[in-house]
Amino acid sequence: QACSFNPELAELKTRQTATALRKMGGLLSLSPMVDVCRNPSFNRLEESYGEDGYLSAVMGTAFVRGLQQGDLKKGVGACSKHYLGYGGGGDADEKELMEEILLPHETMIRLEGSKALMPGYHAYKGTNCVANSEILQDILRDYLGFDGMVVSDYTAIDQIPGLESRAEKAAAAVNAGNDVDFPHGANYAYLQEAIDNGTVKPETLERAVKNVLRYKFLAGMFDKDPYLYSTETITLDSPEERQTAYDIASQSVVLLENNGILPLKDKKNILVTGPNANSMWAMCGDYSFPAMSYFWKKVTDDLDHPHVVKLLEGMESRKPDGVDISYSRGCDWTEDIETKYTVGGDERAWEYEILHRKVDSGEKADKAEALRMARNADVIIAAVGENVMLCGENRDRQGLRLPGKQEQFVKELLATGKPVVLVVFGGRAQVISDIADRCAAVIQAWYPGEEGGNAVADILYGNISPSAKLSVSYPNTEVYEPICYNRSTEKDQRVAWEFGHGLSYTTFDYSNLTVDKSAATSADSIVVSFDVKNSGAVKGDEIAQLYISPANDDQNLRPIQLQGFARVSLNPGETKRVTVKLHPEQMGYYSNEGARRWNIAPGRFLVKVGASSTD
């Protein structure tokens, strides 16, 4: 969803979710996950908004605005997680931590009044976050002014090292500032023992209790006639919600490469193949209903609620007159169990039987049949990538290349001489550098949700023009360390497609950039204006991105940093004037010389506007 760069749509989605959830009696959501994720291999990357702190803050804050609806008696409470730096950055220096990793949590708390927060499983400066008073007290309470409740991640208190008894672990967590022991209170059941032996003060327990009661009060649970759930029939998955799901999917699917094959015109015989061509596991990632039921409960039947539109279904229902669609699975996701059995995250998932299994597609994968069909096709749509057992919490693979023999299968499809459109599904970027250049087009579809099949099909057929931009740097090689566009203005040779990249079926021209030549630090805003023209023949949306760079090396800023964006809809030949407000604070930097503070140094700054971080 971050690739849509559309916070209004993100807010609409969570507003719809909160309305239904509140009717069911739901008062708290353990979302959003706003980890700034910069390691391409992170198994929970799909839950995040990507590598940029500013974009994560904008999208996460929109999520909270829609979910809470400005009133916890009407909306559902948000919980920012995983605090602080779980998805990457937990070992960052203090400047990066405060400027970028903290930013999404900070905006949710300061701007939208988010009242719950969840520490991560990881350690910060050698102490597990759930028992770390520096981040839970000094930064969260004293610096941010957070007045909500802190809830542990599931079994995180159990995992505090060096302590034997549950009473000791409970004391370490509650003394540091953690209020609630999830999932079952197994450790906090021993708080009385900790109080009796003097390791927890009564006033510490009182603080935790009051933080929880305060949340319940705000949510309306103590009202004379509390509205906690609806007695009416609750209708889920309304036409309006499906439209929102379609809009999100269609605006989040990224066209990475296109040699002119797309949109598909005058192609009468289309082969749809690959392990993700006819599977809902191409559409639904971790922490969706089907994935949760399959992973945790080992349920394999009757998971299509709501109905998830598969790619093949969308290709058939959206096809123009005279087009024939053929289908053969061709290959499976993987022949071997690729999930690595590692200790980390929720310990309830450490069971061998939970992790050590494959998803059964229920179909035969006949490569010979698929290749035979490929030779008779005008174009091949190869749907590849991961599934719920290959990416997600506690699930790590051996590498980032396509799982199993998928890459080999694509190479054999290419060997037929027919144009191949590669559609990659999954929760993170895959290393496809050995085949991408030989494909006629490459689409990164992520996990596009219940309407994903229709959205991808409409993009392939040209019913809509793709508009999404990457919210991560897309690697061309195996990378197991943080990478981020803002580290340098020079091209990172490990990156195939840069942050902000995404193609369209039309072209856009930028011109007439104007910006205030100077501003005082006390100024309310700095006005930036520019023209965007649709210079092509197709209606389309452009995501214009605004970056700031220091003019000199001694300004304590990143070499380049996203600080604004605008989604612009344009008809062919149309030009629009776009105005973006910058604020002096966006030129600021953090320092801690005896006290935490922000500074704006006098100097010159470069304002850059373009179609990506390298444009």
| Token output for 606 | 């470069």
The pLDDT score that the predictor gives to residue 340 is: 74
Over 90: is that where the pLDDT of 357 sits?
A: no
Provide DSSP, 560-598. SEEEEEEEEEE-TT-EEEEEEEE-GGGG-EEEESSSEEE
Question: Would residue 488 count as lying in a domain?
Answer: no
Instruction: Tell me: do 443 and 297 sit in the same domain.
Output: yes
Question: In angstroms, what is the C-alpha Rg of the chain?
Answer: 25
Last residue of a domain, one of 411, 440, 468: 468
Q: How many CA atoms lie within 13 A of 133 on its CB side?
A: 6
Question: Would residue 452 count as lying in a domain?
Answer: yes
Over 80: is that where the pLDDT of 156 sits?
A: yes
Question: Would residue 15 count as lying in a domain?
Answer: yes
Compute the average pLDDT of residues 167-174.
Answer: 98
Question: Would residue 179 count as lying in a domain?
Answer: yes
Question: Would residue 569 count as lying in a domain?
Answer: yes
Instruction: Tell me: do 339 and 446 sit in the same domain.
Output: yes
> Is pLDDT larger for residue 215 or for residue 398?
215
Instruction: Tell me: do 330 and 448 sit in the same domain.
Output: yes
Over 70: is that where the pLDDT of 539 sits?
A: yes
Q: How many CB atoms lie within 10 A of CB 554?
A: 8
Instruction: Tell me: do 548 and 443 sit in the same domain.
Output: no
Per DSSP, helices labelled H in 416-551 are 433-436, 452-461
Residue 310 to residues 46, 68, 391, Cα–Cα distance (Å): 19, 32, 19
> Is pLDDT larger for residue 17 or for residue 297?
17
CA gap 119, 85 in Å, rounded: 9
The pLDDT score that the predictor gives to residue 338 is: 85
Q: How many CB atoms lie within 10 A of CB 614?
A: 18
Instruction: Tell me: do 33 and 182 sit in the same domain.
Output: yes
| Token output for 395 | 């699930």
Instruction: Tell me: do 426 and 540 sit in the same domain.
Output: no
The pLDDT score that the predictor gives to residue 553 is: 80
The pLDDT score that the predictor gives to residue 351 is: 76
Instruction: Tell me: do 142 and 243 sit in the same domain.
Output: no
Query: Tell me, what DSSP letter sits at residue 251?
Result: H
How sure is the predictor about 155, in pLDDT bands with cuts at 50, 70 and 90?
Answer: very high
Instruction: Tell me: do 376 and 405 sit in the same domain.
Output: yes
Separation of first and last alpha carbons in the chain: 22
Question: Which of 122, 119, 117, 138 has its CA nearest to residue 90?
Answer: 122
Contact 546, 508 (CB under 8 A): no
Contact 489, 43 (CB under 8 A): no
CATH number at residue 577: 2.60.40.10
CA gap 345, 315 in Å, rounded: 38
**Secondary structure E strands in 367-497:** 379-385, 420-425, 441-446, 474-475, 495-497
CATH number at residue 23: 3.20.20.300
> Is pLDDT larger for residue 302 or for residue 311?
311
Contact 503, 255 (CB under 8 A): yes
CA gap 499, 484 in Å, rounded: 8
Query: Tell me, what DSSP letter sits at residue 28?
Result: B
Last residue of a domain, one of 415, 436, 468: 468
Instruction: Tell me: do 266 and 343 sit in the same domain.
Output: yes
How do 269-273 and 324-328 pair as beta strands?
Answer: parallel
Question: Would residue 592 count as lying in a domain?
Answer: yes
Condensed to tens digits (0 to 9), the pLDDT of residues 371-402 reads 999 999 999 999 999 999 999 888 888 889 99
Instruction: Tell me: do 192 and 318 sit in the same domain.
Output: no
Compute the average pLDDT of residues 541-556.
Answer: 94
| Token output for 181 | 């022991």
| Token output for 138 | 């000094």
Over 90: is that where the pLDDT of 296 sits?
A: no
Instruction: Tell me: do 263 and 408 sit in the same domain.
Output: yes
The pLDDT score that the predictor gives to residue 92 is: 87
Question: Would residue 447 count as lying in a domain?
Answer: yes
| Token output for 274 | 């690959």
State CA 297 to chain mean position distance.
25
**Secondary structure E strands in 218-289:** 254-258, 269-273
How sure is the predictor about 90, in pLDDT bands with cuts at 50, 70 and 90?
Answer: confident
Condensed to tens digits (0 to 9), the pLDDT of residues 306-350 reads 999 999 999 999 999 999 999 999 999 999 888 876 667 777 777
Instruction: Tell me: do 95 and 42 sit in the same domain.
Output: yes
Last residue of a domain, one of 188, 218, 248: 218
Number of compact structural domains in the chain: 3
Question: Which of 576, 494, 183, 483 has its CA nearest to residue 346?
Answer: 183
The pLDDT score that the predictor gives to residue 91 is: 82
The pLDDT score that the predictor gives to residue 342 is: 65
Question: Which of 501, 442, 443 has its CA nearest to residue 472?
Answer: 501
Least confident interval from 53-57, 110-114, 324-328, 518-522: 518-522
Q: Which domain holds residue 566?
A: 508-610
- Please provide the average confidence, as pLDDT, over all residues in the chain: 95
| Token output for 370 | 């698929």
Question: Which of 588, 590, 596 has its CA nearest to residue 139?
Answer: 596
Question: Would residue 230 count as lying in a domain?
Answer: no
CATH number at residue 277: 3.40.50.1700
Condensed to tens digits (0 to 9), the pLDDT of residues 565-601 reads 999 999 999 999 999 999 999 999 999 988 899 999 8
> Is pLDDT larger for residue 454 or for residue 338?
454
Amino acid identity, position 109: I
